[in-house]
Amino acid sequence: MGKTGLSRRQFVKYSFGVAAGFSAASCASVGGSGSPLTSYPIDGRRVKKTSEQMLAFDLRAQPTTLKSGTGLHPLELSQVQDYDQFGYGRYRLGKGLAIVPRHDLLADGKSHPVPAKRKKLASFFAMTDIHITDKEAPNQLIYIQQADSVRGAAMTSIYSPVISYTTQMLDAAIQTVNALHEQAPFDFGISLGDVSDSGRYNETRWYIDVFDGKPIRPSSGAHLGEDTVDFQRPFKAAGLNKSIPWYQVLGNHDHFYIGSVPVDADPSLKLRESYVSDEVWAVGDVLIPNAAKMTPMALPPVIYEMNSHLSGTSPVTLNDPVTGVAGNTFYMGVIDGTSPYGAIKYTGKKEYFASPPKVAADPNRRALLRSEWIAEFFNTTTEPKGHGFELVPDNLRRSENGCACYSFVPRAEVPLKIIVLDNTQREDDGSHDIHGHGFLDAARWQWLQAELDAGQANNQLMVIAAHVPIAVAAVGSLMEWWNPRGQATANQNDPHAVMDNAVTLPALIKKLQDAPNLLMWISGHRHLNTVKALPAYDGAGKLVPEKSFWQVETSSLVHFPQQFRTFEIYLNSDDTVSVVAVNVDPEVAEGSPAAMSRKCAIAEHQILQSDLRGNATNDATFPGTPLPIDSMDPTRPQDGKPDPSIEYGQVADVPYCASYNAELFKQLTPTMINALKRRA
């Protein structure tokens, strides 16, 4: 696939004169203000990967009480006006993060000599979990983060001040991609799901329109503050370089309410109506687990009863030990578009309000069906039209379940196939639990097997791009491979599920390992930069390098560390293939909303101090019980130890590093090596 790119002169003009370039177009405006559009051009000369420089900041002791005067408690995350007082969000530039050579899956392991790179086979970027958010929508769950210290405080997916700046941060990231493309052209880009926060029409359109370089009006309803507040102000997105084709993966947030609840599964909840209502939502604390799972004798996994909380009929009451908040129905609040710090309004117990608080209703907030979400990617000015979904047969992508699986070959002259897999749950699975698990129905499982078999038969290297990673989430967690009706005892099963996963995790991994041309599985979902080996062994316990593969997760673009990844695939002189995976911090213009997003993301981490270097132990029994459980990772022993293949970066002058750069080596079969030498 040819690349025209930007000339050096065009690049300089792009990097340093974008504002001037937009001035001719700024006679046009978005919205009712008539004000000329602004833009936020980055300085292309400053763009660097994390292998060259890292962002560094200090961590302070976390207050244990509210109003401590020494810092902000996690429940005070929304007090953005106080960040400067305590130094939250300040950062400096540190040294680069090394690219670690990983020989885990080679027969000679760490003793493997460094080969010369023979030929670059592919270069692409991946970003994920962008979570474009309509922060003024009436049916959010913001209040839980402030009220529930036990379960809500760390739940940044429910609230973080970064939600006010999602479109502007995406614009900065795309400009950063463009600058890197000028340095070394990308063959393609791929977005790994969760482009929107709740699958709203306006969230999805903002996302696509930022990629397309269109005018963006990042507010909804009455468009409060669009003339005075930076995150509300309409702007002109730069747009992705037109020579870079980009492809899309479906995420759970793209078709479930806050990535958790099917919109139409229980019409009595009136969830679809809540999207376009003018009344702020009053519901319960959905993070309190099923009451039956809260007793000392409860058996894992913990299952959440989302439906009863959203209907206001749950008998479970929030009684918070820190805030003192008690009750089971609360107005959840919205972001005040007139507040320069994104203050939250309309929160509290239902009985405190004489009447429901209201916002201006907006039909553009409507929830999209899977098929409608897919259809929006055909309304685009960047390539390809459909962003991969044009490769799905028309009758399948328009069907009720909206098929989002396809494969493509980036360059005809290189035998590399990207398999885009939808492994999110289905709307009709019956579960009332949070819908964040990995899942394949029978049709998707059959399709994946056929794609792997075809890749082997056609001598193609393969990369699977799916939203949900495998074999990294602990048993009983919200992101593990779904097993609703196959637990050790019946009362551990999901009481409402009406279908099973079409394939167990061990069977899935075995099939993947039986496709030796598979290089790696790439994903998002967990907002972590985790790299993991999935080794294959023979009956004697000896490593089978050709059947082993890698998994590379990429962090969210909305929460710290707000990074995307670049991937370069090489055929080496020793007949191995290596994948160089490197994190990138988007470059942000000083004083821009994207710069404020970075400040808020760093402050979020300084205040919450979440563990972004996760590595779950593979336990044989559920922690604290004698109950046997399945292995979370069939490629390693159930010995209660963390995964030895999962590492995180260390940089001397960076106190907290949530990034990881690596060169991942993979041994191929002789047949595949010969095919590469003939064609590449």
Q: Is the Cα dihedral 648, 124, 373, 41 positive or negative?
A: positive
- The yes-or-no verdict on residue 298 having pLDDT over 70 is no
Which is higher by pLDDT, 493 or 83?
83
pLDDT at 516: 98
pLDDT at 264: 96
Task: Indicate the burial class of 64 (C-beta count within 10 angstroms; 0-12, 13-18, 19 or more).
Answer: exposed
- The yes-or-no verdict on residue 529 having pLDDT over 60 is yes
Please give the span between the terminal C-alpha atoms of the chain, in angstroms, as a whole number: 14
Retrieve residue 571's tokens.
């055929």
Count other Cβ atoms within 10 Å, centred on residue 91: 17
Kind plus residue range of the DSSP H or E element containing 134: none
- The yes-or-no verdict on residue 137 having pLDDT over 60 is yes
Domain boundaries along the sequence of the chain: 8-610+629-679
The strands making up 282-283's β-sheet, listed across from edge to edge, are: 282-283, 330-335, 344-349
DSSP bridge partners of 42: none
Q: What is the per-residue pLDDT across 623-643, written as a single tens digit (0 to 9) for each?
A: 778 888 889 999 999 999 999
pLDDT at 16: 32
pLDDT at 27: 33
pLDDT at 295: 54
- The yes-or-no verdict on residue 3 having pLDDT over 90 is no
> How many angstroms separate the CA atoms of 478 and 258, rounded?
14
pLDDT at 109: 85
- The yes-or-no verdict on residue 46 having pLDDT over 90 is yes
- The yes-or-no verdict on residue 535 having pLDDT over 50 is yes
DSSP bridge partners of 215: 236
Reported as a pLDDT band with limits 50, 70 and 90, residue 8 is: very low
pLDDT at 140: 98
Count other Cβ atoms within 10 Å, centred on residue 209: 19
- The yes-or-no verdict on residue 155 having pLDDT over 70 is yes
Which of 360-369, 420-429, 482-491, 651-660 is least confident? 482-491
> How many angstroms separate the CA atoms of 325 and 478, rounded?
26
> How many angstroms separate the CA atoms of 166 and 143, rounded?
20
Q: What is the per-residue pLDDT across 165-218, written as a single tens digit (0 to 9) for each?
A: 999 999 999 999 999 999 999 999 999 999 999 999 999 999 999 999 999 999
Q: What is the per-residue pLDDT across 81-101, written as a single tens digit (0 to 9) for each?
A: 999 999 999 999 999 999 999
Half-sphere exposure at residue 21, Cβ-oriented, CA atoms within 13 angstroms: 15
Q: 422: which residues sit within 8 A by CB, 6+ positions away?
A: 249, 250, 403, 404, 405, 444, 466, 467
3-state secondary structure of 229: coil
Q: 12: which residues sit within 8 A by CB, 6+ positions away?
A: 44
Which of 20-29, 117-126, 482-491, 637-646 is least confident? 20-29
Reported as a pLDDT band with limits 50, 70 and 90, residue 22 is: very low
Q: For the whole prediction, is pTM greater than 0.75?
A: yes
- Identify which of 18-32, 274-288, 309-323 has the greatest average pLDDT: 274-288
What is the average pLDDT across 253-265? 97
Retrieve residue 528's tokens.
């972590």
> How many angstroms separate the CA atoms of 400 and 395, rounded?
10
Reported as a pLDDT band with limits 50, 70 and 90, residue 292 is: low
Exposure string over 603-614, b if 16+ CB within 10 A, otherwise e: bbbbbbebebbb
Retrieve residue 13's tokens.
């003009």
Half-sphere exposure at residue 548, Cβ-oriented, CA atoms within 13 angstroms: 27
Nearest to 553 by CA among 126, 196, 121: 126
Q: What is the mean pLDDT of the chain?
A: 92
Do the strands 215-216 and 235-236 form a parallel or antiparallel pair, or are they unpaired?
antiparallel
Nearest to 57 by CA among 516, 601, 437, 640: 601
Q: Can you say whether residue 283 is alpha, beta or left, with left for phi > 0 and alpha for psi between -120 and 50 degrees?
A: beta
pLDDT at 341: 97
Q: What is the per-residue pLDDT across 330-363, written as a single tens digit (0 to 9) for each?
A: 999 999 999 999 999 999 999 999 999 999 999 9
Distances, alpha carbon 594 to alpha carbons 458, 558, 590, 608, 673, in Å? 44, 10, 9, 21, 45
Reported as a pLDDT band with limits 50, 70 and 90, residue 30 is: low
> Could you tell me if 186 and 243 are in contact, meaning their C-beta atoms sit under 8 angstroms apart?
no
- Strand intervals (E) in 64-187: 92-95, 99-102, 117-127
> How many angstroms separate the CA atoms of 160 and 123, rounded?
33
- The yes-or-no verdict on residue 368 having pLDDT over 90 is yes
DSSP bridge partners of 651: 654
CATH code of domain 8-610+629-679: 3.60.21.10
Half-sphere exposure at residue 243, Cβ-oriented, CA atoms within 13 angstroms: 16
pLDDT at 313: 82
pLDDT at 2: 37
What is the average pLDDT across 20-34? 44
> How many angstroms separate the CA atoms of 548 and 509, rounded?
10
- The yes-or-no verdict on residue 31 having pLDDT over 80 is no
pLDDT at 428: 96
Q: What is the 8-class DSSP label of residue 49?
A: B
- The yes-or-no verdict on residue 14 having pLDDT over 90 is no
- The yes-or-no verdict on residue 18 having pLDDT over 50 is no
